[in-house]
Amino acid sequence: MMPGASWLEVAPKGAESALVLYPKSMMKNWAELKPSIVFVCDDIEKTYETMKANGVAFEGELQKMQWGTFATFLDEDGNSFLIKG
C-alpha cells in the first residue's frame, strides 16, 4: 500500500473473502469517510440487476472506473456498502 503501512487481514483458511482492518489515518481524507464493506463480484452487472430487482436501494447506477465497476447500496438501516467487479 505504501512504505511503513500496516494492516490486519483475517479470513478462514481457504476462504474467498477476508476482513481487512487498517488505521483510518492511512487514507488522506479519513475524516470524511464512513466505514465500508466491499463485496467483490464475478459478474457485477448481473449482481447489480438481481439486487435491484429484489428491491435493494442503490445510491446510483453502476459506475465504471479504471480500477473496476462499482455501485453503492444501502441496507435497511441506511448503512452503505459497495459492490465491485
Cell of 45: 452487472
- What percent of the chain has a predicted confidence (pLDDT) above 70? 93
Residue 31 has pLDDT above 90, yes or no: no
Q: What is the mean pLDDT of the chain?
A: 86
E-strand ranges in 11-58 read 19-21, 38-40, 57-58
Q: Region 65-71: what's the mean pLDDT?
A: 90
Q: Which residue has the higher pLDDT, 19 or 73?
A: 73
Residue 55's pLDDT is 96
Q: Region 17-46: what's the mean pLDDT?
A: 80
The helix (run of H) or strand (run of E) holding residue 51 is: helix 44-53
Q: Are 54 and 8 in contact (CB under 8 A)?
A: no
Question: Residue 53: how many CB atoms within 10 A of its CB?
Answer: 8
Residue 18 has pLDDT above 90, yes or no: no
Report the half-sphere exposure of 20 (CA within 13 A, side-chain side): 10
